[in-house]
Structure 1
Amino acid sequence: MPISETWLLPDGVADVLPEQAQVIETLRRDALDFLASRGYQLVYTPFIEYIESLSSLSESNQDLDLATFKVIDQLSGRLLGVRADMTPQVARIDAHVHPVEGVARYCYAGTVLHTKPQGFNTTRAPLQLGAELFGSDSLDADVEMLDVMLSLIKTSGHPDSIHLDLGHVGLFRSLVKHAGLSKSVERQLSDLYQRKALPELAEFTQELNFGADFYALGRYASDLDALQANLSAEIFADAAFKQAFDSVKATQSEIQARWPNLHIGIDIVELRSYHYHTGLMYAVYAPNRAAPLAQGGRYDGVGQHFGRARPATGFSCDLYALCAGKFKKIEQIAAPKGTDKALLDAIAALRAQGSNVIQLLGSDDLTSVPHATHQLVNAAGEWKVEKL
């Protein structure tokens, strides 16, 4: 490779420079402190594991499997995976490494790696931060997780104009089961719902069992009252369908009570990650941004792969995306060289107050600290900070 190309990075990978790294690191610390205050315990997980350990979600989520880099371990000869999502790792911890009775709450922050960008203008190496709650299948657990996610978004400094989308895979899943549809037809319907292709949906559902109900699910996906009015009595009496429907309404009501100014939208046929989510799904969006700021949902039984199936719900976000476009000017104080006690005491005091102080080296002058914004000077025997 020519030396002129050795500094180039792969597509979808980028350096983070000081002015933005400072913003991201501050948010990471604040977010983890906030999660700790809500009872979520911090865990660190390895960047690479045997692929079998990472497959607890990828077995039911082909997208995650395709996003996972795979390499051969030169020590064991076994296949390793570079984590593309930290949720399976936390599930492994809950199942075997740190099993507890009752509810367990964990949080994490670390880089994950994707084989390809997972959305428009996204990085292949997100700095993923998230929280997981194991051991409760109650609506209260879902509401807590949503409230924690929204509070964390607020901590990041995003405006009140954020938008929350709510959905529930149980509506579609129970309707498919009630109608006795094949996996092939189920996949076709899921694709039509994802594309919001109502004319195609109307034609496709004409010959299906409960076709009018499948069409109503897409046609009135954002209006629960209209959906209820257009569903057949048989479907609405289905216990699984009714439970999912009531969960969405109750969650919307409880979140609105906690966040009265939040705009909440319903989309019950938003079926992203449909194959591993088992209940409520949600995502937060900011104005003029296509990708969600954070997203999550319920994925009961995720620990079954490790021999301990537990109810589970959680969310995650990319700190790089949360801080996109945010920069902070870093103030640096240049101090003269020397070992005078008063000078060293002044430098120590400034650093104790949180200031960045760089002491000049050798024969250096201020030009050796190109990013200095202030300097420490001796004025009438007293060390003072002056702006440059």
Structure 2
Amino acid sequence: MSNWLLPESLADILPAEARRIEELRRGLLDLYRTYGFELVAPPLVEYIESLLSGTGADLNLRTCKLIDQVSGRTLGVRADMTPQVSRIDAHLLNREGVTRLCYCGTVLHARPAGLLSDRELLQIGAEIFGHSGVEADIEVIELALASVKRAGVQHARVDLNHPGVLRSIIDSDPALADFADRIHELLGTKDVPGLTELGTQISGVQTGSIQALIQLASLYGTTGVITKARSVLPALPALHAALDDLDVLIAALPGHEFSIDLADMGSGYGYHSGVVFSIYAHGWHDALVRGGRYDGVGRAFGRSRPATGFSLDLRKLSSGLPAAPVAKAIRAPWGTDAALVDALCKLRAAGEIVVQMLPGQLQWLDEFTVDRELVPDGGTWKVRAIA
């Protein structure tokens, strides 16, 4: 095997693309700061018990493990930064009231999440802790939409769900409790025959419960799905409260495109406690942003707190945008003449890109296009256009 080959689903990022990703990172973190979010930077690895506390089994399968040579304990390379940020809020900051935190860092997946997915992601996100009302969910979705707009994404669509709908149906029928994970899988693939067959296998299940699950599999589409759900699903208080949350959220964000899928919660059924959302846009094969409410995750760190937030992969976001534009640069000769050095310093202080040509060497530039040059002119140095 050649030494330069990378492991499967890992890739280098070359100059122009790396610059664009870095500019996206800076721009989004600056955006989050204008909303009052404070930046935190948790470590790349932690003890596995801390890294997976309060999360579902899915995150455990995505986490790479190794042995700490100092303590002999098992470490995990983070596959998601959200649990780490929850730990910081609950254990280190330990504040009263609302805390807004943002973050950006590399995460590693043991296996790619899909056929076209990478294993290394540059995850950026924002979380609100300490407020249980739908107001925090509204702010989080507003900020997520502002994030993709800042990146240049056009016509983003928000897909909404609420695990309280499915959870209320399962909680209303004790016979379904042991089959929650299987029901979640079948609903995710809209497998109506599978749901029907499962109903014949569960002893003591109520006929109305299976019919409700079958109806749930078809409840996806425009926002009118919420109205339909009220008429075809059981009149359970928790179920209608979940639908009310979705109505309030949509009304609070006019001018945006929403879709509803009450059957598909991805991998977050056991993790999310409230509104769940994803943002899609033309040019990306999968969701650009994923987020939602996950109250109580901080309980494992000694303090249960309401929490809602979102995250996205900057590398995926960048990959679907138009080709990164090259920056204009100035070519300058090599030299240590005081006037030349002074001219270089002034140009760079003004924000210009100045590339000095090293003696006897050609310079290949992917990120810049040289359209001007620095030339001597009567004892001074001046910039002129290159014909």
Where do 1:54-133 residues align within 5 Å? 54-58=51-55, 61-133=56-128
Q: Deviations over 1:243-276 (max 9, x none)?
A: 1111111112212x2xx1x221011111211111
Q: Is residue 180 of structure 2 the alignment partner of residue 174 of structure 1? A: no
Give the drift of 1:204: 4.2
Q: Provide the residue aligned with 1:329 in structure 2.
A: 326
Q: Deviations over 1:308-356 (max 9, x none)?
A: 0000001000000111143231433221122333322221122112222
Give the drift of 1:149: 0.5
Q: Provide the residue aligned with 1:9 in structure 2.
A: 6
Q: Which amino acid aligns with 2:343?
A: A
Q: Provide the residue aligned with 1:165 in structure 2.
A: 159
The whole-number CA distance in structure 1 between the counterparts of 2:325 and 2:44 is 29
Q: Provide the residue aligned with 1:220 in structure 2.
A: 219
The whole-number CA distance in structure 2 between the counterparts of 1:67 and 1:387 is 52
Q: Is residue 41 of structure 2 the alignment partner of residue 26 of structure 1? A: no
The whole-number CA distance in structure 1 between the counterparts of 2:169 and 2:335 is 77
Give the drift of 1:116: 0.6
Q: What secondary structure, in the 3-state scheme, does the structure 2 residue paired with 1:354 have?
A: coil
Q: Deviations over 1:199-247 (max 9, x none)?
A: 443454478412222222222344121221223xxx32x3221211111
Q: Is the 8 A contact 1:335 1:375 kept in 2?
A: yes
Q: Is the 8 A contact 2:161 2:275 kept in 1?
A: yes
The whole-number CA distance in structure 1 between the counterparts of 2:325 and 2:175 is 55
The whole-number CA distance in structure 1 between the counterparts of 2:374 and 2:364 is 13
Q: Provide the residue aligned with 2:360 in structure 1.
A: 364
Q: What secondary structure, in the 3-state scheme, does the structure 2 residue paired with 1:350 have?
A: helix
Q: What secondary structure, in the 3-state scheme, does the structure 2 residue paired with 1:213 have?
A: helix
Q: Provide the residue aligned with 1:269 in structure 2.
A: 263
CA pair 370-274 structure 1, distance change in 2 beyond 3 A: closer
CA pair 277-106 structure 1, distance change in 2 beyond 3 A: same
Where do 1:290-305 residues align within 5 Å? 290-305=285-300
Q: Is residue 312 of structure 2 the alignment partner of residue 317 of structure 1? A: yes
Give the drift of 1:104: 0.4
The whole-number CA distance in structure 1 between the counterparts of 2:25 and 2:9 is 22
Give the drift of 1:378: 2.2
Q: Is the 8 A contact 1:174 1:240 kept in 2?
A: yes
Q: Is residue 182 of structure 2 the alignment partner of residue 188 of structure 1? A: yes
The whole-number CA distance in structure 1 between the counterparts of 2:177 and 2:171 is 10
Q: Which amino acid aligns with 1:196?
A: K
Q: Provide the residue aligned with 2:345 in structure 1.
A: 348
Unaligned 5+ segments in structure 2 are none
The whole-number CA distance in structure 2 between the counterparts of 1:344 and 1:66 is 56
The whole-number CA distance in structure 2 between the counterparts of 1:249 and 1:15 is 43
Give the drift of 1:10: 0.6
Q: Is the 8 A contact 2:329 2:352 kept in 1?
A: yes
Alignment match of 1:376 (pick from 369, 374, 377): 374
How high is the sequence identity, in percent, across the aligned residues?
Answer: 40
CA pair 283-378 structure 1, distance change in 2 beyond 3 A: same
Q: What secondary structure, in the 3-state scheme, does the structure 2 residue paired with 1:181 have?
A: helix
Q: Which amino acid aligns with 1:364?
A: G
Q: What is the TM-score with the length of structure 2 in the denominator? A: 0.91
Where do 1:231-250 residues align within 5 Å? 231=233, 235-236=234-235, 238-250=236-248
CA pair 370-192 structure 1, distance change in 2 beyond 3 A: closer
The whole-number CA distance in structure 2 between the counterparts of 1:69 and 1:47 is 11
CA pair 368-269 structure 1, distance change in 2 beyond 3 A: closer
Alignment match of 1:338 (pick from 332, 335, 338): 335
The whole-number CA distance in structure 1 between the counterparts of 2:327 and 2:284 is 28
Q: Which amino acid aligns with 1:124?
A: R
The whole-number CA distance in structure 2 between the counterparts of 1:220 and 1:73 is 48
Q: What secondary structure, in the 3-state scheme, does the structure 2 residue paired with 1:112 have?
A: strand
RMSD in angstroms over aligned alpha carbons?
1.9
Q: Deviations over 1:140-183 (max 9, x none)?
A: 00000000100011001101x22110000001001100111344
Q: Is the 8 A contact 1:168 1:281 kept in 2?
A: yes
CA pair 369-28 structure 1, distance change in 2 beyond 3 A: same
Q: Is the 8 A contact 2:145 2:156 kept in 1?
A: no
Q: Provide the residue aligned with 1:386 in structure 2.
A: 385
Q: Provide the residue aligned with 1:308 in structure 2.
A: 303
The whole-number CA distance in structure 2 between the counterparts of 1:68 and 1:104 is 27
Unaligned 5+ segments in structure 1 are none
The whole-number CA distance in structure 1 between the counterparts of 2:386 and 2:39 is 40
Q: Deviations over 1:295-315 (max 9, x none)?
A: 100000000010100000010
How many residue pairs are counted as aligned between the two chains?
372
The whole-number CA distance in structure 2 between the counterparts of 1:34 and 1:331 is 26
Q: Is the 8 A contact 2:171 2:177 kept in 1?
A: no
Q: Is the 8 A contact 1:120 1:291 kept in 2?
A: no
Q: What secondary structure, in the 3-state scheme, does the structure 2 residue paired with 1:12 have?
A: coil
